[in-house]
Amino acid sequence: MPAKPWIWIWLIAGPFVGPKAQNLVPNPGFEEFAQCPSQFGLFKQGEIPNWTAVPSDCTPDYFHTCAKGDFGLPHSLGGTVPAYEGKACAGLIAGVGESKFEFGHRHYFTDLYYREFLQCQLLEPLQANGLYRVAMQVALAPRANYTGAQIGFFLTDFPIVILENESFMPKIKLDSALRAPGQWVELSGNYRARGGEQYLTIGNFIPTREAPLVSLWKDRLRQTDFCYGRAYYFVDAVEVRPLESTPPTMPLPPPGTIASDFGPLAPGQPIILNNIQFAFDQDSLLPSSLPQLHSLWKLMHQYPQAEILVLGHTDSIGTEEKNLDLSQRRANRVRDWLIQRQIAPARVKARGLGESQPIDDNGAAPGRQRNRRVEFVIRKTGRLPQSAP
């Protein structure tokens, strides 16, 4: 059964009608803070209530009118931009266009894949099939000489960690208005919830290697600017608001099953992960595998007592011994990916079956392709998901 997408938040443009409902984003304008900013890393250090830096070693910036110098407003290391509303805003590197730059009379080399994200937990989970308005204000930093990073929103049931080589679809693409430095632009739309989403992540979800940045200008005399060589954006006034008082009800899964992005699941039922892909004759996961891996990760998070068995299969090309080893390594790779993201090892078993259980004819290429697969089986469902009331 093909996996249903879970990570997408395609924002359907449309005007907001009617009185404003409660904003589910805590500290939406970053007005609450523990200390006036004087250095990098306040989000990383937990000094801005309700917001965290993702991944944990990145350093989105905090700006406030109480500060002087680089972290003040309206004048800051990003240029002259007042807060959209109130006295504060956030700033983040959405992409890097040049790897070498100067700052403070020193030469630095930065990772071209480096991106910063902000994440918060909503005041309450989104209701299944409910319609929500999702919006934020974004301004390109005047001192940034790159643009084109596809800043957007991401709603999930649990906190996510986005590695530098990962990409997610879909996203909100920047339009020409965001090429005008220093001007606040609203990114907004309506989102139909799947139910249980309670974490909002903001940033650029497409690595630079997949969506190259656009250079706006070149000026060697300004290479000492912090934002030089980067697509840097200010963010303010983040909101997630319900547009309907009572969302339509969704059908419950059949008795004895659990709901998931893979459809209703019952213990012992094998589910093929159709889009789990590896490098040829290797156990290295390809980036195209990430959406289904995240769907499996989400399932394990939703049902904290669930246990699964990951099964690796190959075609009949090669020796039986080699195929058995390759299938075990590939199953282990999926298991390791989940464990690296805080899924308890005892909950995930892995087994390689080699070529012993084909589902199609190994005599033809299409059949061999189907036989090269990874499956998982629910061994134990456990209790209701965490997002259940």
Report the range of poorest mean pLDDT among 177-191, 251-265, 335-349. 251-265
pLDDT of residue 205: 79
Same fold, 51-242 and 270-380: no
Q: What amino acid occupies position 296?
A: L
Residue 27 has pLDDT above 70, yes or no: yes
pLDDT of residue 176: 45
Q: Which CATH superfamily is domain 270-380 in?
A: OmpA-like domain (3.30.1330.60)
pLDDT of residue 221: 54
Residue 140's DSSP bridge partners are 233
- Report domain extents, the chain: 51-242, 270-380
Cβ neighbourhood burial of 380 (10 Å; 0-12, 13-18, 19+): exposed
User: pLDDT tens digits, residue range 278-290?
Assistant: 777 888 887 667 7
Q: Is the dihedral of CA 112, 80, 173, 49 positive or negative?
A: positive
Pair 94, 124: CB distance under 8 Å: no
pLDDT of residue 386: 45
99/118 Cα distance (integer angstroms): 23
Task: Tell me which architecture the domain covering 51-242 has in CATH.
Answer: Sandwich (2.60)
The separation between the first and the last C-alpha atoms of the chain, rounded to the nearest angstrom, is: 28
Q: Is the dihedral of CA 41, 45, 48, 52 positive or negative?
A: positive
On the CB side of 119, CA atoms within 13 Å amount to: 23
Residue 260 has pLDDT above 90, yes or no: no
Question: Average pLDDT, stretch 354-380?
Answer: 87
Residue 89 has pLDDT above 50, yes or no: yes
* Nearest Cα to Cα of residue 151 among 133, 166, 171, 121: 171
Structure tokens at 217: 């200008």
Q: Are strands 88-96 and 230-242 parallel, antiparallel or unpaired?
A: antiparallel
Question: Average pLDDT, stretch 90-113?
Answer: 65
* Nearest Cα to Cα of residue 330 among 385, 263, 277, 274: 277
pLDDT of residue 100: 55
Helices H / strands E in the chain, number of each:
3, 19
177/187 Cα distance (integer angstroms): 11
Residue 177 has pLDDT above 50, yes or no: no
Average pLDDT of the chain to the nearest whole number = 80
140/132 Cα distance (integer angstroms): 26
Q: Are strands 307-312 and 348-352 parallel, antiparallel or unpaired?
A: parallel
Structure tokens at 353: 């079956």
329/308 Cα distance (integer angstroms): 17
pLDDT of residue 298: 80
Residue 188 has pLDDT above 70, yes or no: yes
Please calculate the CA angle 232-193-257 and round it to the nearest 5 degrees: 125
In sequence order, the 6+-apart residues with CB closer than 8 A to the CB of 162 are 54, 55, 115, 117, 168, 201, 203, 205
Residue 379: band (very low, low, confident or very high) from pLDDT cuts 50, 70, 90 = confident
Residue 250 has pLDDT above 60, yes or no: no
Residue 54 has pLDDT above 90, yes or no: no
Residue 36: band (very low, low, confident or very high) from pLDDT cuts 50, 70, 90 = very high
User: pLDDT tens digits, residue range 201-233?
Assistant: 998 877 666 666 777 767 665 666 777 788 899
User: pLDDT tens digits, residue range 151-165?
Assistant: 888 888 777 776 655
Question: Average pLDDT, stretch 232-238?
Answer: 96
Cα 336 to chain centroid, rounded: 19
pLDDT of residue 384: 46
Q: What amino acid occupies position 111?
A: D
Helix (H) or strand (E) holding 153: strand 151-156
Residue 16: band (very low, low, confident or very high) from pLDDT cuts 50, 70, 90 = very low
Helices (H), 116-255: none
Structure tokens at 220: 């060697």
